[in-house]
Structure 1
Amino acid sequence: MIINAQDSSVSTITHHSPSKSDTATKDNVVINTALDGNSNESSSHEDSVDITQLSPPLKVDLSLIYNFLGARTSQAWVNAAIDNLALIIQDHANCEKKAAGTAMNLIFRYEFSYDLQRKLAQLIREEMLHYEQVLGIMHERGQAWKYLSAGRYAKGMLKHKRTYEPAAMIDVLIIGAFIEARSCERFAALAEVINDERLAKYYRYLLKSESRHFEDYLALAQSLSDDSIDERVTFFKEVEAELISTPDTELRFHSGDPVAL
């Protein structure tokens, strides 16, 4: 899998008018994100903090996401997330903030690449917009901010990061790709089942950007290496799948199978 950095902005989203055959379930590769027959992505306000102004795309093809990840989210996690939705919403906000912070740290540490700087700047803007949007959702729900400890997920991958450059940077970007892909997969899973259409609509809207981010990270990682990054991607695919599939005592947006909750 040699990734062309010039193709990092290619989207996997396809658009067409919904039909009776477009009914989607959680296991479908193509998720139907239309709320009604009049949904039109061109009328969306992509940079609006007000989520009522956002229009989800009609279709998001998640086949690349599902093929990239080594495991699918379990029904046990989905059930636990539904029962603890406030916690999941706040941890989602934490994830957006951490993603922006990570990109900001990288933009100061690796100033040698124009493409890297430009893409990181775009990611920072987008992640902080999402953070502000989720804060708005919490405010609307009357949900106070509470302390949440970090889960094991990111740490479980970062402990395998190599310690020399540019290998360390390549690993960080590959890890970022898996975090973004998992976020997208879980947004799709939750959007299909949560009993909150406003929140479900927002998760469908996020599928557009999240399904693109993992490819951006992979393209940046490949651009820093003269050799294929396939071996490292395969390695982290196995690590990430284990973290998602094994029992986890803390419920978080990227946690494993919930136990003792």
Structure 2
Amino acid sequence: MPPAGHGISAEHLLPASLLDFLACATPHAWLEWAMAHPQTLLIDHAQCEKKAASTAMNLLYRYVDQPLLLSKMSQLAREELLHFEQVIKLMEKRGVAYHHLSASRYAEGLRRHVRPNDPERLIDILIIGALIEARSCERFARLIPYLDEELAQFYRTLVKSEGRHYEDYLLLAGRQTQAPLDERIAFFVACEAELISAPDTDFRFHSGVPA
């Protein structure tokens, strides 16, 4: 399906730092897959917003001794729940019923590498959070030219907020240690790129390409 055309490319919507952070762009095959499954795209998008809020809340409960983390995660949780509500309203307007979908292998594929003890555990979770937010932001931007105007406008607003979320996660990760994080970040960036590029049997917002 050719792009509908909304006048702005993904590269112009996304900050250069985010594009540099991710090792690869979303493959075009995933975009075509998304356009073939518009209802699943919205349903899984809603689930992703809910999971992002849950991750933030879990961090709020676990790390009560970190004021900056508490502030950033409380704001992030509020925004993710608002996005969830907005997606649900869009789905209702379009006659899309919300139901449970099985998770993609994406988040679990990243989280299985999390180290067991803090502060390393928290550092890994925050780096993964940054990658999930950055990839979400990149996918929103790349979808925009293919969407109707209402959904495209909604995704434009998400690009801005998800970009801030990825930066907040990286900021918090850097606060956990005096040691450089470049090597650990590079490890997860490579894992993320492999998950995005590998074949998947089921379409999801963070799936790879169709098998």
Do the structures match in fold with TM over 0.5? Answer: yes
Structure 1 residue aligned with 2:8, among 24, 45, 51? Answer: 24
Establish whether residue 125 from structure 1 lines up as the match of residue 125 from structure 2.
no
Quick check: 2:88–2:98 contact (8 Å CA) kept in 1? no
Establish whether residue 100 from structure 1 lines up as the match of residue 44 from structure 2.
no
Quick check: 2:133–2:162 contact (8 Å CA) kept in 1? yes
Question: Deviations for 1:24-83, whole angstroms, at most 9, x for unmatched residues?
Answer: 335xx213xxxxxxxxxxxxxxxxxxxxxxxxxxxxx43211110011111110001011
User: Which structure has the larger Rg?
Assistant: 1
Q: How does 1:1-261 map to 2 (within 5 A)?
A: 23-26=7-10, 29-31=11-13, 61-194=14-147, 196-259=148-211
Q: CA deviation at 1:139?
A: 0.6
Q: CA deviation at 1:109?
A: 0.6
One-letter amino acid matched to 2:173: A
One-letter amino acid matched to 1:133: Q
SS at match of 2:194: helix
Q: How many residues align?
A: 206
* Structure-1-length-normalised TM-score: 0.77
SS at match of 2:180: coil
Q: CA deviation at 1:171?
A: 0.2
Q: State the identity %.
A: 51
Question: 5+ residue gaps in structure 2?
Answer: 1-6
**Higher share in helix:** 2
One-letter amino acid matched to 1:96: E
Quick check: 2:27–2:197 contact (8 Å CA) kept in 1? yes
Equivalent residue, structure 2, for 1:37 = none
SS at match of 1:163: coil
One-letter amino acid matched to 1:79: E
One-letter amino acid matched to 2:168: D
One-letter amino acid matched to 1:188: A
Question: Deviations for 1:223-246, whole angstroms, at most 9, x for unmatched residues?
Answer: 011211111100000000000011
Question: 5+ residue gaps in structure 1?
Answer: 1-22, 32-60
Quick check: 2:9–2:142 contact (8 Å CA) kept in 1? no
Question: Deviations for 1:148-171, whole angstroms, at most 9, x for unmatched residues?
Answer: 000100000000000111100110
* Structure-2-length-normalised TM-score: 0.95
One-letter amino acid matched to 1:145: Y
Q: CA deviation at 1:146?
A: 2.2
**Cα RMSD between the aligned structures?**
1.3
CA distance in 1, matches of 2:86, 2:8: 26
One-letter amino acid matched to 2:176: L
